[in-house]
Amino acid sequence: MDINTLSVLMGLTVLGAASGVLGAFALLRRKALLSDTLAHATLPGVCLAYLMGGKQMGWLLMGAFVSGLVGIGAVSVITRRSRLKEDAALAITLSVFFGFGMVLLTGIQRWGDGHQSGLDRFLFGQAAALLPHEVLHLTLACLLILMVVSILFKEFALLCFDRAYAQVLGLPVAVLDALLMGLIALIVVLGLQSAGALLMVALMITPAAAARLWTHRLSAMVGLSVLFGMLTAIGGVLVSAFYGRLPTGPVMVLLASGLFFASLVLRRQ
Amino acid sequence: MRLEIRDLTVVYNGKPAIHNITLTVHGGVLTGVVGPNGAGKSTLLKAILGLVPRAAGEVWLNGVRLDKPRGEIAYVPQRGSVEWDFPVNVLDVVLMGTYARLPIGRRPGRAERDWALECLRQVGLESLWHRQIGELSGGQQQRVFLARALAQNAPVYLLDEPLAGVDAVTEQVIIEQLHHLRDQGRLVLMVHHDLQTVRDCFDEVVLLNEHLIAAGRVDAVMTRENLQRTYGGKLMFLQDMD
């Protein structure tokens, strides 16, 4: 194994851990589908940032982050300003944003210099293409996420279980809710290069869902979700590196689903 | 101890749910809120707590205006307000009552655990502390919520129909604990659905049907005329009450 694969492996292990933690809270706060919509909604942001002239990864990811947040904002506006329920708002937002992103991406690849742009790896992920300094930034950002969640663990737990009671105790619930959603947006963007916009949610929600089947304690669930997330990410890197440059996202989906179905069978009631 | 509600109005979807409620509730007194379905009883509690927006009015606790409580009011919500298959056990839920005193970033420690166990003992559930909350009966779940409020150790207790659909043991435990809180001088305000037990449960009662109908000592308030005004034609057993 070369040094590059090793560094990617390290970065993805930390990414898997952070995804597992946030996936657990996203699942319990019933934000699983919202996270998926957010991930799909990042695509036009990546393309627009590219068209605006920047080819630097940090700039592209900034575009993805902003676009993802706009997507969440759209869901919130639709549910509050119309009589539509959240599922309709999610379906509309996900498809509109992703469709727009695909139009831009195809345009860039056909008419621009885009066949070398590498933008298509934002669709399905290509972990092996991560450069060493990108791995470093990814790792630091994920460690920051893990730190924030470990500091606010009891607050996030109470927010997910009983938001009204958290408010009665004087917790800043709106700020905590926004922060949790911001962290979810951050992890989705961090995972774009590795897992891709279409399948990033698999690295978050599936390990958490598998972990949920094993335990009735939140701390144990989060711990297991971290473990499953790391296994998924490591497996994704190794399989896609050694078997003919398969895109990492689909490989991780299959691995995470394997863990989930095994949990389902072993823990059936 | 004094909780003053002044001209409180709450509007849901353009329709007023409670109108101009002005009311003073005192510590050391067990006060019931009684009225028909849809009278705004739960809304009154939520408006006091700042959980629903107030269209007008103020709440004052001991002469200090209260817009957003910070743990000084313990709240026992209706059982249906949370998901009981959430991955927490009984002790975890009771420990949440101690969070008001723990700074952000601090996890509950030994002292909080001992205190939470003591609160569970008071509601008779200490042997079930490790159970997942979904495994409990409805009455036991209600007692866990009460234990969480006890763990908060607050001067004011607001309870939303804690006796609805619970078993006899739970009813007895809850009433016993509320009497205990009252005897310590705390303020207890509880939404109640069963007219026939009002006299046994409370010292004072508030009759509510969107408007405040009457408030005061149970004997003075629970008159045929007041009940008629609160329940209208829906009251079938007035004769039994007299």
Disruptive mutation site among A153, A173, A216 for chain B (greatest number of B CBs within 10 Å):
A216
Spatial strand order in the sheet of B73-76 = B73-76, B156-160, B187-192, B30-34, B204-209, B211-217
Residue A165 in contact with partner chain B when CB distance is under 8 A: yes
Residue B60 clears pLDDT 70, i.e. is over it: yes
Per-residue pLDDT of A98-116, as tens digits, reads 999 999 999 888 876 655 6
> Looking at residues A39-50, what average pLDDT do you find?
95
**CA quadruple B18, B24, B25, B31: dihedral positive or negative?**
negative
Per-residue pLDDT of A143-192, as tens digits, reads 999 999 999 999 999 999 999 999 999 999 999 999 999 999 999 999 99
Distance CA B163, CA B159 (A): 10
Pick A6 or B158 by higher pLDDT: B158
- Residue B3: in which H helix or E strand, if any? strand B2-12
CB atoms within 10 A of CB B63: 7
Per-residue pLDDT of A22-36, as tens digits, reads 999 999 999 999 999
Q: What is the pTM of this model?
A: 0.92
Residue B242 clears pLDDT 80, i.e. is over it: no
CB atoms within 10 A of CB B58: 13
CB atoms within 10 A of CB B45: 24
- Identity of the residue numbered B186: R
> Looking at residues B182-187, what average pLDDT do you find?
97
Residue A87 in contact with partner chain B when CB distance is under 8 A: no
- Determine the straight-line distance between the first and last CA of chain B, rounded to whole angstroms: 33
Q: Please give the residue of chain A at the shortest CA–CA distance from B154.
A: A169
Are A258 and A204 in contact by the 8 Å Cβ rule? The answer is: no
Question: Looking at residue A125, what DSSP letter applies?
Answer: -
Disruptive mutation site among B92, B102, B106, B189 for chain A (greatest number of A CBs within 10 Å):
B92
Beta-strand pair B204-209/B187-192: unpaired
Chain B contacts in chain A segment 186-245 (CB below 8 A): 212, 215-218, 220-221
Q: In chain B, what residues touch A171 (CB-CB under 8 Å)?
A: 99
CB contact under 8 A, B88 and A155: no
Residue by residue, DSSP assigns A240-259 as HHHSTT--HHHHHHHHHHHH
Q: Please give the residue of chain A at the shortest CA–CA distance from B157.
A: A168
> Looking at residues B80-99, what average pLDDT do you find?
95
How close A175 comes to chain B (CA, Å)? 13
Pick A117 or A129 by higher pLDDT: A129
Are B87 and B132 in contact by the 8 Å Cβ rule? The answer is: yes
Q: Which two tokens stand for residue A15?
A: 């990414």
> Looking at residues A74-79, what average pLDDT do you find?
96
CB contact under 8 A, B96 and A217: no
Residue A138 clears pLDDT 60, i.e. is over it: yes
Return phi, psi of residue A162, to 5°: -155, 85
Residue A161 in contact with partner chain B when CB distance is under 8 A: yes
pLDDT at A243: 83
User: From its phi and psi, is residue B71 left (phi > 0), alpha (psi between -120 and 50) or beta?
Assistant: left
Residue A269 clears pLDDT 50, i.e. is over it: yes
How close B53 comes to chain A (CA, Å)? 13
Distance CA A238, CA A248 (A): 9
Per-residue pLDDT of B37-55, as tens digits, reads 889 999 999 999 999 999 9
Q: State CA A201 to chain mean position distance.
A: 5
How close A204 comes to chain B (CA, Å)? 18
CB contact under 8 A, B69 and A218: no
Are B240 and B196 in contact by the 8 Å Cβ rule? The answer is: yes
Residue B105 clears pLDDT 90, i.e. is over it: no
- The CA-based diameter of chain A, rounded to the nearest angstrom, is 57
Question: Looking at residue B7, what DSSP letter applies?
Answer: E
Residue A37 clears pLDDT 70, i.e. is over it: yes
pLDDT band at A248 (very low <50, low <70, confident <90, very high): confident
Residue A40 clears pLDDT 80, i.e. is over it: yes
Distance CA B98, CA B118 (A): 12
Residues above pLDDT 70, as percent of chain B: 96
How close B97 comes to chain A (CA, Å)? 8
Distance CA B113, CA B95 (A): 7
> Looking at residues B64-74, what average pLDDT do you find?
92
User: Which residue among A152, A165, A215 places its CB closest to the CB of B77?
Assistant: A165
pLDDT at A268: 80
pLDDT at B49: 96
> Looking at residues A255-266, what average pLDDT do you find?
96
Q: Which residue has the tokens 């958290």?
A: A166
Per-residue pLDDT of A188-230, as tens digits, reads 999 999 899 989 998 999 999 999 999 999 999 999 999 999 9
Per-residue pLDDT of B10-26, as tens digits, reads 998 888 899 999 999 99
Are A16 and A233 in contact by the 8 Å Cβ rule? The answer is: yes
pLDDT at B237: 54
Between A and B, how many residue pairs show a Cβ–Cβ distance under 8 A? Answer: 76
